[in-house]
Amino acid sequence: MLAGESLPQRSKTEAEIVREYDVEKWGGLLLEAERTGRGFTFAAVDQLNMDGLDHCVSVRGDVMSWEEHAVATRRFRRMVGRELRALMPASALVEFGAGYGGMFFPVARALRKSRPKLIALEFTRSGRELLARISNAEEQPVTVGACDLGAPAITSVAIPDGAVLFTCFSAHYVPVLSQNIIHSLCALRPKAVVHFEPLVHPELQSTTMGLLRHRYLESNDYNRNLLEVLEEAERAGRIRIDSVEANWFGLNPLLPASRIVWSAT
């Protein structure tokens, strides 16, 4: 892109998500895993997914580092694992928008001593197929099912009371969230809910980097109101936000995940 050229404006429609994930990313990964015949262990599928990813600029708070993609990915997984382990014991660990389990399986391993029931929910059919095949190959029982964080009923999968629920770079695929996400998640009577998601917070209006990040969210039509929805629910007394850390970690300096932990009141 040339200086002065505007960023292309994208729309995160359902058809676009299906193209990007169901067909191209997870659908392509499924076909490639079948073609290579290396099996469906997490390591084999994860390796295929990382193929060709060399270095990245990772970001933690204000610090950016040029490092191997695999090293940054492992760090992010360890950080998420530590956060969720601190919330154990819990009846279940549930991820909404788990993809092929790139975060779910490493986190499940980090939590194995607490033995929560494992539930991985995903929007796309090919992602669910990968989750089921990996669970089978790893001989690790995982309930796999469908979810849509933007739908009135997020999932029809039975989730036990007292679970730890999380999202990681999936809620940001719903351009505009409503209080429905709060009602649906609270109805599951969770122990805690954690989002590792890009958030629009005051920094995005007040620094040059923040403005670039805001523009990046806009041009990709990523969600820009998750924090607002959560704060509104807190003002209404429905939830308590336990902690927020902006720009917690990311493998793209324009799209770091913030970390936000909340519980139903």
Ligand X SMILES: C[S@@+](CC[C@H](N)C(=O)[O-])C[C@H]1O[C@@H](n2cnc3c(N)ncnc32)[C@H](O)[C@@H]1O
Specify the 3-state DSSP secondary structure of 176. Answer: coil
Q: Does 122 bind ligand X (CB under 6 A)?
A: yes
Q: Does 174 bind ligand X (CB under 6 A)?
A: yes
Rounded distance between C-alpha atoms, residue 194 and residue 261, angstroms: 4
Q: For residue 241, which amino acid is it? A: I
Q: Does 258 bind ligand X (CB under 6 A)?
A: no
Quick one: which of 124, 135, 223, 247 contacts ligand X (CB under 6 A)? Answer: 124
- Interface with ligand X (CB under 6 A), residue total 21
Q: Does 96 bind ligand X (CB under 6 A)?
A: yes
CB of 18 vs ligand X, minimal distance in Å: 9
Backbone angles phi, psi at 242, to 5 degrees: -85, -35
The smaller minimum CB distance to ligand X, of residues 221 and 262, is found at 221
Rounded distance between C-alpha atoms, residue 75 and residue 97, angstroms: 20
Q: Does 102 bind ligand X (CB under 6 A)?
A: yes
Q: Does 123 bind ligand X (CB under 6 A)?
A: yes
Q: Does 17 bind ligand X (CB under 6 A)?
A: yes
Quick one: which of 59, 72, 98, 165 contacts ligand X (CB under 6 A)? Answer: 98
Please say whether the beta carbons of 170 and 97 come within 8 A: yes
Quick one: which of 106, 150, 250, 256 contacts ligand X (CB under 6 A)? Answer: 150
Residue with tokens 């494992």: 118
Please say whether the beta carbons of 230 and 197 come within 8 A: no
Q: Does 251 bind ligand X (CB under 6 A)?
A: no
CB of 257 vs ligand X, minimal distance in Å: 9
Q: For residue 154, which amino acid is it? A: I
Please say whether the beta carbons of 69 and 55 come within 8 A: yes
Give the alpha-carbon dihedral of 30, 34, 37, 39, to 10 degrees.
Answer: 50
Q: Does 46 bind ligand X (CB under 6 A)?
A: no
CB of 12 vs ligand X, minimal distance in Å: 8
Backbone angles phi, psi at 43, to 5 degrees: -60, -40
135 Cβ partners below 8 Å, 6+ apart? 101, 120, 141, 142, 144
CB of 101 vs ligand X, minimal distance in Å: 7
Quick one: which of 33, 168, 200, 226 contacts ligand X (CB under 6 A)? Answer: 168
Quick one: which of 42, 169, 222, 248 contacts ligand X (CB under 6 A)? Answer: 169
Rounded distance between C-alpha atoms, residue 72 and residue 55, angstroms: 9
Q: State both tokens at 89.
A: 């014991």
Q: Does 181 bind ligand X (CB under 6 A)?
A: no
Quick one: which of 45, 92, 99, 192 contacts ligand X (CB under 6 A)? Answer: 99
Residues that bind ligand X in the complex, under the rule CB under 6 A: 17, 21, 96-99, 102-103, 122-124, 127, 147-150, 168-170, 173-174
